Chain A
């Protein structure tokens, strides 16, 4: 061990055993002093003279103690700890001042943090893929000459995708993806609740450079294979290492799971987060594919746009109708190559400027807050002149006093910052509630945003019951042996025979279980046997009925809810309130929640 490490270890120990070491050093000094006094007495001096001489020889005791303490311990840390204790006492003595400063800071920091969270997620953060700055999305815009309406096409037939991929000169890689429309996912023969699935080209993961948490990415020799999102893997398979090689069925087609995407990759779109990506050798691609391309090094977006325009024109001439603008009766099409490195989002263009303007305003507010707090501190310090004078008289230097004030300020900042966390969370919710969002943005689903989770008391009956909540539908099934039995697509309405009691539906969504901020029931916390409750949809979806088979009146409010509890599936369901109208669209719920709904089809 080097001298420095030994010294550091010794100093650390000395901080812990400070009092004992102080006592021991006092004892040493006393012994030393007495031995000196004895020596001087032996030389014929009086005891008083001997003691005076001994003290002179030994040095100023208080200074020696201080020097010894500094040498053996960690003076800076000890001084900061001392200042911290003192600062706590001082702030405790002035509760009004502390409260005003803390609240001011909390509001200022909280508002800034809330807004910056949104700006960061929506505008700043790049996709966790290779070279995101060179990714472009291919779009075709057609402006009607009659009405002046611009139509934007982002999806193209797989034949167009193959043509562009083969003939382009400016892109090093082109990948395609297509979100499946309400796919039926079955695992081990049991249908899953609604999952988001994207069909992707085989080169999607490899060419985008998406890292995997486990397993591998598809290659050209693979048949139908699937990659799971990290979140789906954790929630559905509890992070099992044996998930690779499992088979699952999507819309009747069997796929083999070959890997799990890295946790930070949630897909290319900010407004959705797929659970599964599937690919096969012959990309069926459904009706169409969205194209994401990576520019070759040295190529510019304008070159890419020109090249694409040419290819699209060729394609339109060769196969009219396959791409927009190919027919004579259609308005002319303009191909665009737009930056996609920060993910695809319909919200970005809409909210970019307001968010930036708001951020500027909030930053100004934060500056004003800081100025106010600074003024308050200055006024307070002016009132502490006497205290400073006493400390200076006792030997405190300027640096020691400055350190004391800095520690006090830091303590206030920590208090304000801690409180600001709460304000920031509420702020994000508030801002989102103010925005007329067309869909539930993905950033709300990011794992790190799980801190938004709030608890609503009570529990839903049924151990690990499969809960469904949303568009006026809540389904719950209870399997045998206490195991959940998920039966997606089973909605009880007039057509559902009451002889199938396992699936029980009530209008509205289940509450009572812990729910996240969007109101999604978390079934893992459901306790068996507890009475369930349900919320009535403020805007019931047409065609949905309660388990009783009676349709609730449109716009039924809290007051019009039937006061009596309902017996359903062996449990009691009691109306307790309304679902927020923002969540009426079932597709906005994230599929990771076991309780997410399935759009009802009438």
Chain B
């Protein structure tokens, strides 16, 4: 078995939204580190790919960006979730939970019908 998990297509966006919703405005580095920390270093994340996800989310209007100053006094772009993003997060989370529950049920029963 793999010791670390590849990220499924589309799940990175959901992770980013969740992170921004929980922690508020963050820069790219902060988002990437947070995801790695929360996953307990189980997620393989090429940190640069976080920016593709950020662009995608920004294009859809789910997050917005603003230049600011980081903790160590460096200029950085901070991303924050929008109201539309919050709604999307709720919908996506619900969808993901249903999917995970179904997958869990299917896998726990070995795929047999009762």
Interface residues, chain A, with chain B CB atoms under 8 Å away: 1, 3, 6-7, 10-11, 24-25, 27-29, 31-32, 34-36, 38-39, 57-61, 63-64, 67-68, 71-72
Q: Lowest 10 CB-CB distances: which A-B pairs, in order?
A: A59-B48, A64-B48, A10-B59, A7-B59, A35-B29, A59-B46, A32-B29, A71-B55, A31-B76, A72-B55
Tell me what chain A mostly uses at the interface: helix, strand, loop, or mixed: helix
Check if B18 is an interface residue, CB within 8 A of chain A: no
B27-A31 in contact (CB<8A): yes
With A7-B59, A31-B74 known as contacts, the answer to whether A59 contacts B49 (CB < 8 A) is yes
Q: Does B47 contact A (CB under 8 A)?
A: yes
Instruction: Chain A residues near B60: list those with CB within 8 A.
Output: 3, 6-7
Given A31-B75, A71-B56, check contact A36 B51 (CB 8 Å).
no
Query: How many contacts A-B (CB < 8 Å)?
Result: 68
Known: A27-B75, A29-B48. A35 touches B70 (CB 8 A): yes
Interface size class of B (residues with CB under 8 A): 20 to 34
Residues on B with C-beta less than 8 A from A24 are: 77
Other 13 A-B pairs with CB < 8 A, given A1-B61, A6-B60, A57-B46: A3-B60, A27-B75, A28-B76, A31-B27, A31-B70, A32-B29, A35-B29, A35-B70, A36-B47, A38-B72, A59-B46, A59-B48, A72-B59
B residues less than 8 Å from A27 (CB atoms)? 75, 77
Contacts of B33 in A (CB 8 A): 39
**14 CB-based A-B contacts, threshold 8 Å:** A6-B61, A25-B51, A27-B77, A31-B29, A32-B27, A32-B28, A32-B47, A58-B46, A59-B49, A63-B48, A64-B49, A68-B51, A71-B52, A72-B55
User: Of residues 12 to 65 in B, which have CB atoms within 8 Å of A's CB atoms?
Assistant: 27-29, 32-33, 46-49, 51-52, 55-56, 58-61
Contact bitstring B57-89, A, C-beta under 8 A = 1, else 0: 011110000000010101111000000000000
> Are B52's CB and A68's CB within 8 A?
yes
Name B residues whose Cβ lies closer than 8 Å to a Cβ of A: 27-29, 32-33, 46-49, 51-52, 55-56, 58-61, 70, 72, 74-77
Distance to closest chain A CB from B49 (angstroms): 7
Contacting pair A35 B74 (CB below 8 A): yes
Assess whether A10 is in contact with B58, with CB atoms less than 8 Å apart: yes
Q: How many whole Å from A26's CB to the nearest CB in chain B? A: 11
A334–chain B nearest beta-carbon distance, Å: 75
- Residues of A contacting B32 in the complex (Cβ-Cβ under 8 angstroms): 32
Question: In whole angstroms, what is the CA distance A59 to B56 when docked?
Answer: 19
Inside 8 A of A63's CB, which chain B residues have their CB? 48
Assembled-state Cα–Cα distance A35/B70 (Å): 9
| Docked pose: A231 CA to B58 CA in angstroms | 55
Q: How far is the CA of A31 from the CA of B78 in the complex (A)?
A: 12
Give chain A residues whose Cβ lies under 8 Å from the Cβ of B55.
Answer: 68, 71-72
Q: Give complex CA distance A64, B50 in Å.
A: 10
Provide the residues of chain B in CB contact with A1, threshold 8 Å: 61
Q: Contact between B76 and A64 (Cβ–Cβ < 8 Å)?
A: no
Given A3-B60, A10-B58, A28-B28: A58 and B47 within 8 A (CB)? yes
A72 to B53, CA, bound (A): 10
Contacts of B75 in A (CB 8 A): 27, 31
**Could you tell me if A57 and B70 are in contact, using CB atoms closer than 8 angstroms?**
no
* Cα A25 to Cα B32 with chains together (Å): 16
Give complex CA distance A34, B3 in Å: 28
Question: Chain A contacts of B48 at CB under 8 A?
Answer: 29, 32, 58-61, 63-64
